[in-house]
Amino acid sequence: MPQMEGKAALVTGAASGIGRASALALAREGAAVCVSDINLDGAQETARLISDAGGQALARRCDVTNRDAIQAMVDATVTAFGRLDAAVNNAGISGHFYQRLHEADDESFERVIDVNLRGVWHCIKAELPPMLARESGAIVNIASVAGLIGAPKAADYTASKHAVVGITKSAALDYAKSGIRVNAVCPAYTDTAMVQGAIAGNPIMASIMTRAIPMGRLGLAEEVAEAVVWLCSDASSFVTGHALVLDGGLVAI
């Protein structure tokens, strides 16, 4: 039996990359999925891929820096599917890499915090009530290995992802007796449009990323998505407050 049969999920930042892969994987496992992104065309394409494969999907435009838009996304999911069992808070941005802290742009810092941290905060707050009503649910926040270790010349992104791991742990404790599990996944460099954009035209940086990973390659969005599905499913029923590392051995160094 599919792991998510009869359940409803939502995924933010689902127009591409880890978000799209997670939405497709959840749908493959039987979930009806609200596919959300600030890029509506991309979200609609993800929803079409799900529908073409025989799944059920709803596409929504959502800017996670807008609390009203987040609430509307959650409400639309519950209206369409009658419930919310799993939420994947994936929407995020990279900020400006390759700058030491004193050189970093304050506006970029504020934008990274707005999307990566406040966005997750407000998504969780909106997702919890329908889960509390059923005394059941799973929330997965997409963090990063940069939420566990330092990342040079990326202080804004690193700060935001450390905070996501912290929120995950605190929320897990708050709702452990309410039937709601809250976990995070912490990927290393993953072959997505965001990473490719960061290394575009910089073969040296691409080589550095690859060499930093003991397995000698970037991760795949589909590999992260499999971990997301597991954390959303009953197969991980005794797992909460965990930051699951998918890094090809990077943190083990």
Residue 152's pLDDT band (cuts 50, 70, 90)? confident
- Please name the amino acid found at residue 79: T
Strand, helix or coil at 183?
Answer: strand
pLDDT at site 216: 93
Q: What is the CA radius of gyration of the chain?
A: 17
**Per residue in 164-198, pLDDT tens?**
999 999 999 999 999 999 999 999 989 887 777 76
Length of the chain: 253
C-alpha dist (Å) from residue 54 to 3, 11, 47, 51, 118: 16, 18, 11, 5, 34
Is pLDDT above 90 for 14?
yes
Predicted TM-score (pTM) of the model is 0.95
Q: Are 204 and 156 in contact (CB under 8 A)?
A: no
**Per residue in 19-44, pLDDT tens?**
999 999 999 999 999 999 999 999 99
Q: Residues 199-225: what's their mean pLDDT?
A: 85
**Per residue in 109-140, pLDDT tens?**
999 999 999 999 999 999 999 999 999 999 99
Closest CA to 206 of 215, 214, 197: 197
Is pLDDT above 70 for 156?
yes
157 among known catalytic residues: yes
Is pLDDT above 70 for 10?
yes
Residue 253's pLDDT band (cuts 50, 70, 90)? confident
Which residues have CB under 8 Å from 33's CB, separation 6+?
8, 9, 10, 11, 14, 23, 26, 27, 47, 50, 55, 56, 57, 58
Is pLDDT above 80 for 95?
no
pLDDT at site 207: 77
Could you give all domains of the chain from N- to C-terminal order, each with its CATH number?
Answer: 8-243 (3.40.50.720)
46-54 contacts at long range (C-beta below 8 A, 24 or more positions apart): 46/14, 46/15, 46/19, 46/20, 49/20, 49/24, 50/23, 50/24, 53/24, 53/27, 53/28
**Looking at 98, 157, 175, 189, which residue is catalytic?**
157
Is pLDDT above 90 for 90?
yes
Residue 201's pLDDT band (cuts 50, 70, 90)? low
Give residue for tokens 């970037």.
218
- Please name the amino acid found at residue 143: A
pLDDT at site 97: 67
Token pair belonging to 50: 């799900």
Q: Could you write out the DSSP letters of every residue in 46-61?
A: HHHHHHHTT--EEEEE
pLDDT at site 210: 84
Q: Are 48 and 24 in contact (CB under 8 A)?
A: no
